[in-house]
Structure formats: structure tokens, C-alpha cells
Amino acid sequence: MKTRLLVQISYSLLMARWKQTLVAAIGVTFSITMFITLLSFMSGLNDLLDGLVINRTPHIRLYNEIQPTKKQAVELSSEYKNNHNFIHSIKPKNELQQIRNSGAIIQSLKKDNRVLGVAPKINLQVFYNVGTTDINGIINGIEVEEENRLFFFKDYVTQGNYIDLKNISNSIILGKGIADRMLVNIGDVVQITTSKGERVPMKVVGFFQSGLQEIDKIQSYTNITTAQKLLGESNAYVTDLQIKLKDLKQAPFLAKEFASMYDVEAIDIQTANAQFETGSSVRSLISYAVGITLLIVSGFGIYNILNMMIYEKMDSIAILKATGFSGRDVKKIFIGIALSIGVFGGLLGLFFGFGLSFIIDNIPFNTAALPTIKTYPINYNPKFYIIGTIFSILTTYFAGYFPSKKASKVDPVVIIRGK
Amino acid sequence: MAMKILEAQNIIKYFHDPVSVQVLKNINFSVTQGEFISIIGKSGCGKSTLLYILSTMDTDYEGMLYIEGKSMKKLKEAELACVRNEKIGFVFQFHYLLNEFNVLQNVMLPGLKLAKYNKQEVEHRAFEKLKILGIEKEVYKHPNQLSGGQKQRVAIARALINDPIIIMGDEPTGNLDKKNSEIVFDIFKQLSEEFNQTLLIVTHDNEFAARTHRIIEMEDGIILKKD
Ligand SMILES: Nc1ncnc2c1ncn2[C@@H]1O[C@H](COP(=O)(O)OP(=O)(O)O)[C@@H](O)[C@H]1O
Ligand SMILES: [Mg+2]
């Protein structure tokens, strides 16, 4: 009953000055709109840039590094335990980069319910032959379907059909960069030289574009069996196991586990791509800073209108106090005005923020570097709307707090005596 | 014997700005239920100052103030607000009606604040008070659509809404012409006679004062004569 009365008084005072309060509310609306739009857009952009890496990068990569045995046989021998081993700068054995027992490891990983999938891969150093010059390159031998399921391979094949890689023998999908340098079209045959010096003709069935030019200038894809053939290895030969997890955050922890379990090297995505995390958080930070600055500015608008209102309504405050309203009641009345401005302006802001984000989401955005992106990216995370609401209420509360406090301190005797 | 509803004991008041001046010097008097009292005295003798202290709005004084036997000295701001709401009705020289509300709402406000009755009852009571004051036809008008005399009558209705034990007025006819002053006086007289309402009215109009039950005459911060 009592609160309702105070709300009613707030409302009446507010309506008597609706033009000014509307201006103040529009200030809040504007800042919340910008806050929402900015964060949605920035976050969309972050997701896009992260996606460039995260979609394409295994959460954990298992591989073998060619290095000399850490403990030499002589050190393990009990016979020479008290002797000093003076042989240094030991060279590794002529061993291949292959992961031993890869078939069993794949089987075991596929059973692990923390793992979404495993795609084996072979890294192959080659030269692309362009006339008389040779260009350094890498061919990735992949299991086409699994690569597509886990790492969206299809999205990056901008020309040609990715599945041809599996169906056509000795086929290759060239990076757009290298394809341009070699001046080839789909259906042409290119010559490549393997690291063992063999020259092999391969049929171009597509081009791919990763969005990262450095990659597109070097890398190409072929079927894993073709790669094994190029190397003259058996079908058990695999250099990399690319693992995608159900929960990305577990990658560092599981990388350690897999490394010791399978006796291989393992690197997790967080360690491999630390710089992306930093970029994303800096961009978010900037958007929050801009959004909050806007809100504070609109807070001053509310502060002003309330101060003006209190100055105008001195008589009303005096008589309310004379007839039995306490300082606290008066404070609540004016805080009520501030909060209504905040809530009304804020809600409209959320609405417009969504609208503006939606518009941006539909603006065409085509860039050669990002083949899968057709419009500007927007992230409609409800988190931004919740934060926007909380901030609009907080800023208007604080903007209203000091003028309201002033109003609560008005001495009716001073006002009444002045008449 | 009638009940003492208000008692002032040794009330002393200083103003310190610009220089220390004692405006009230040891004021002692009491009001009993049903009295119609006027306070008169030259301009600047301290009548308003005394009334603001008696009304609990001014708390910066020495001495004791009792309302219905209860000391007002130790009460907090919010408690004093409740005392004013429930027990005291005010009429000032200026009407202090809220322009955002119509006549009826203005009268209802202190009643809704008290919350002794629900909204319908408060509205009904407000109608009754306005009827006593003869302005029941203006209830839905806004204060700026009323004449000076009408506004002052609305202010009196507002003072009456919670059936206060005392009505205090600081020159309530000061802004009114002869005819309207007469109407307001008649209303006070009617309240006193018909409803046994206690009234304490500051005035500079000796003719007005002469027709009240008791005249308190002040001069330079002291009470000359209490009748
Ligand atoms: N706020 C104030 N500061 C200083 N002196 C004041 C203040 N208010 C009133 N006075 C002085 O107190 C005296 C009494 O004033 P007041 O009670 O208003 O007189 P009255 O109502 O009898 O005309 C006057 O001399 C006036 O100048
Ligand atoms: Mg006076």
C-alpha cells in the first residue's frame, strides 16, 4: 500500500515532466543499444576469428618428433653405472616420423567418451614443379570424410568437390595461393616431387582457401592412401593423429594424459594458439569499456533531469514532508523516478540493440580470405542482454541516488518560511 | 476536565546566521482539547518560528514539547513525520497544493500515507471533508484551475483528512481578500463548534483573533498574555 503510493507519486511527477524524462530515457536507450550491438558484433567477430583457428585445428595433436633417445643404452647399463659417458651431440636414429602402432591408438581413442573423433594425417614435404622452378610445399594426406566431419574440410574447398579426393586416385586439392602461382585449373595435372626425389603427376580436383594466406600458399590436400603411396609406406603409416574433444577446455589436461599413455608427443590447442585468446579478450574488453562509458554518460543525463526536477518541486517536497512523508519516502519517490527512466530506457535499448544486431547480421560481407562468411558476424549471446539490463539499472540507480538524497534532506521549514 | 493535547515547556530558540539572535525566550503554554486559539503579535516577533517548533518540523530548539503527553525531543525524523501525519493538520499562508494531482488526490495524499483506511474509504472521507468546506464540486479540477480562496479551502480539507488532534495555521488568511478570509474563518469556527476541533492559528488580523476562544499575544520572543 505504502510503496504503491510512493510509486504513484513518482509516476505523477514523472508524467508532469515527460518530455525531459523521455530525453533522459532515450539517452539510456541509446547507450544500451550501442552496448548490445557492439558486444554482439565484437563477440561475433571474435567467434569468427577463433573459428578460423579452432574449427581447423585439432584440440590435441599427437605426433612423433625425431629426436635421439633421451636415455642412451649405455646409461641404462648397470655395468657402466659408475663411468662417465662423454659422447655428446648424439644424432637420432634413421627413424621415420610415424606414430607407431597408430591403428591401436586410433581404436583406443575412438572408445574414449571424452573424444569426439580422431582423424589421422600424414605430413608430406614436397616441391611443386612449376616449369623449371620448384616451390616448397606441404601435402596433407587426410582421411577425407573424417576430416570433413571434424574439421569442416568442405567449407574451405571453394572450388571443386571435396569428395573427389577420395574417389579419384592420385588427386589433389591445391591451396588457392599455390594454384594461382602454378596457373592451373581444375582437371589439370600438376607435377610434384617428393622428399625422396620421385616425381609424381597428380590430378587437381579442387582448390581450398583457409583464410590464412600463408597456409594457402604452401599446403595442399590429398587422400591418406595416396600420401602413403607417395612415401612408399604401408597403410599403417601415419604422422599425426588429430583429436577433437567434446570439451575444448579439457585439452591441456588430456594432452598430457595421451602423451604418456601412448608414448607420443602431444600439443593442445590452447598452447598452440595462445595469441588468439589474448586478441579476443582485448577486443571484448574494449567493447565493454565503450559500452559502459556510454552508460555513464547517460547516467549524467538522468542526474541532471532529477536535479532539475527536485529544484522545481521544492514546494511539493516541503508539503509532503510537512504532511507526514519522511525523508526516506521522499528519497524513494525520486529513486523511483530514476529507476523508471532506467528500466524503460534500458528495455527499449535491449529491443533496439537486438534490432540493430539483426540488421548488421544481414549486411553482406564477402571477403576472399573468409570463404564461409556471407554476412557480418553477430553473436546473440543472452549474456550481453543480462549485463546490459543490470548495468542500466545500476547506473540509473546511482545517477538517481545523489539527487534523491538531496531531496530527502530538504528542510520544509526553510521552504515554507521562504514564501 | 479537558485533556492537554499539546504542551510547550521553556522553549528557547536561537538563530545563528548571520549573528546569534534569541528569537524565542522561554515559551511556556499548553493547549487543551477543543480550544480555538489565536497567536498574535507584531511581524518578526517569533510567531512562525514557534509554530514550526510546535509542529515538530523544526527540531533545533531547547526546552520540551509534549504532544498528547509524549515528549517529541528524542524522536527520529521518520517518527516525527508520523506524528505530523497522524496528529497535526497544517494550513499555511500559501496553499502548497501539488499541481500534478487533482483536488481529490491532493486531499487524499496524507490519508493514503497514514494507511489507516483503504483507498476507497480515504476517497470517501476526502469527499466528506470537501463537502464540509463547500468545494465538493471542484474535486476533479487541478489546483491551478481554482481561485485563491478555493485553494485554501482544499488545503484545509487536506489538513483534516486524518482527523488530526490539532490544526495549526500560519496566517492562513494572509493571502486572501476580506470575503475569502471571512469564509475561512467561518470554516474554522464551524470546525471548532460542530466538530470540537482544536485549532492553533497564527494571525496578524486582530479582528480575526478577537473572535477566537483564547488569544496568545507575543512580543520579541516572549508571551505577553495568555488570557
Ligand atoms: N532562518 C533564519 N535565520 C535567521 N533569522 C531568522 C530566520 N528565520 C527567522 N528569523 C528571524 O527570527 C525572527 C522571528 O521570525 P518569525 O518567527 O518569522 O516572525 P513572525 O512569524 O512573528 O513574523 C525574525 O526577526 C526573523 O528575522
Ligand atoms: Mg510569520
- Residue ranges of the domains in chain A? 2-54+276-418, 58-81+93-269
Residue A256 touches chain B, beta carbons under 8 Å: no
The per-residue pLDDT for B126 is: 95
Residue A178 touches chain B, beta carbons under 8 Å: no
Q: Which residues contact A258 (CB under 8 A, 6 or more apart)?
A: A60, A62, A109, A243, A264, A266
Picking from A120, A118, A160, A157, the residue whose alpha carbon sits closest to that of residue A140 is A120
Residue extents of the structural domains in chain B: 35-57+82-225
Q: Is the pLDDT of residue B1 over 60?
A: no
Indicate the burial class of A333 (C-beta count within 10 angstroms; 0-12, 13-18, 19 or more).
buried
B55–A324 C-beta distance less than 8 A: no
**B14, B48, B55: which to mutate for ligand 1, most atoms within 8 A of CB?**
B48
Strands B199-202 and B166-170: parallel
> Which of B78, B90, B112 is opposite residue A322, by nearest beta carbon?
B90
Query: Atom 18 in ligand 1: which residue has the minimum CA distance?
Result: B48
Ligand (nearest to CA of B49)? 1
| DSSP H helices in B133-198 | 148-160, 178-195
The per-residue pLDDT for A369 is: 63
Give the nearest ligand 1 atom to B202 CA: 21
Residue-level pLDDT, tens digit, chain A, 419 residues: 578 889 999 998 888 888 888 888 898 899 899 989 988 998 888 888 777 777 778 889 888 877 776 677 777 778 877 888 777 777 776 666 778 888 888 888 888 888 889 999 998 889 988 888 888 999 999 998 888 888 888 888 888 888 888 888 889 999 988 988 888 988 889 999 988 888 889 999 999 887 778 888 899 999 999 988 888 888 888 888 999 888 888 888 888 898 888 888 888 887 777 776 777 788 888 888 888 888 788 888 888 888 888 888 888 999 999 999 999 999 999 999 989 988 999 999 999 999 999 999 999 887 766 666 788 889 999 999 998 899 889 888 988 899 999 999 989 998 888 76
CA distance A327 to chain B (A): 7
Q: Model confidence over B131-169: pLDDT tens digits?
A: 998 898 889 999 999 998 999 999 999 999 999 999 999
Alpha carbons A95 and B35: distance in angstroms, whole number: 117
Residue B214 touches chain A, beta carbons under 8 Å: no
Torsion sign across C-alpha atoms B23, B29, B34, B38:
negative
Task: Give the residue on A whose Cα is nearest the Cα of B76.
Answer: A326
Residue A176 touches chain B, beta carbons under 8 Å: no
Among A3, A313, A323, which would you mutate to test the B interface (most chain B Cβ atoms within 10 Å of its Cβ)? A323
Residue A10 alpha carbon to ligand 1 centre in Å: 34
Residue B86 touches chain A, beta carbons under 8 Å: yes
Alpha carbons A384 and A38: distance in angstroms, whole number: 10
Alpha carbons A45 and A377: distance in angstroms, whole number: 6
Residue A174 alpha carbon to ligand 1 centre in Å: 97
The predicted complex's ipTM stands at: 0.93
Residue A326 alpha carbon to ligand 1 centre in Å: 25
The 10 Å Cβ neighbour count of residue B146 is 18
The per-residue pLDDT for A54 is: 73
CA distance A324 to chain B (A): 4
CB interface of A with B, residues 275-334, below 8 Å:
315-316, 318-329
Alpha carbons A408 and A308: distance in angstroms, whole number: 15
Residue B76 pLDDT class (50, 70, 90 cuts): very high
Note the pTM of the prediction, 2 decimals.
Answer: 0.75
Chain A residues whose beta carbon lies within 8 Å of the beta carbon of residue B113 = 2, 5, 323-325, 329
Residue B221 alpha carbon to ligand 1 centre in Å: 10
B84–A322 C-beta distance less than 8 A: yes
The per-residue pLDDT for A198 is: 85
Instruction: Extract the C-alpha cell encoding B221.
Output: 520572543
Own/partner contacts of B84-87, CB < 8 Å, gap of 24 or more, are B84/A322, B84/A323, B84/A324, B84/B55, B84/B56, B84/B57, B85/A323, B85/A324, B85/A325, B85/B110, B85/B113, B85/B114, B85/B162, B86/A324, B86/B114, B86/B162, B86/B164, B87/B164, B87/B165, B87/B166
- Least trusted range by pLDDT, from A370-384, B32-46, B78-92: A370-384
The per-residue pLDDT for A279 is: 76
Task: Give the residue on A whose Cα is nearest the Cα of B59.
Answer: A413
Ligand 1 site residues, Cβ closer than 6 angstroms = A 417; B 15, 17, 23, 41, 43-49
B100–A323 C-beta distance less than 8 A: no
Residue A414 alpha carbon to ligand 1 centre in Å: 11
B170–A5 C-beta distance less than 8 A: no
Q: Is the pLDDT of residue B204 over 90?
A: no
Chain A residues whose beta carbon lies within 8 Å of the beta carbon of residue B98 = 12, 316, 319
The per-residue pLDDT for A305 is: 83
Q: Give me chain B's average pLDDT, please.
A: 92
Category of B163 on φ-ψ map: left (φ > 0), alpha (ψ -120 to 50) or beta:
left
E strands of A246-336, at which residues? 265-268
> Which of B94, B100, B112 is opposite residue A12, by nearest beta carbon?
B100
A326–B82 C-beta distance less than 8 A: yes
Contact at 8 Å (CB) between A192 and A129? yes
The per-residue pLDDT for A276 is: 67
Indicate the burial class of B57 (C-beta count within 10 angstroms; 0-12, 13-18, 19 or more).
buried
Look up the CATH number of domain B35-57+82-225. Answer: 3.40.50.300
Alpha carbons B198 and B159: distance in angstroms, whole number: 12
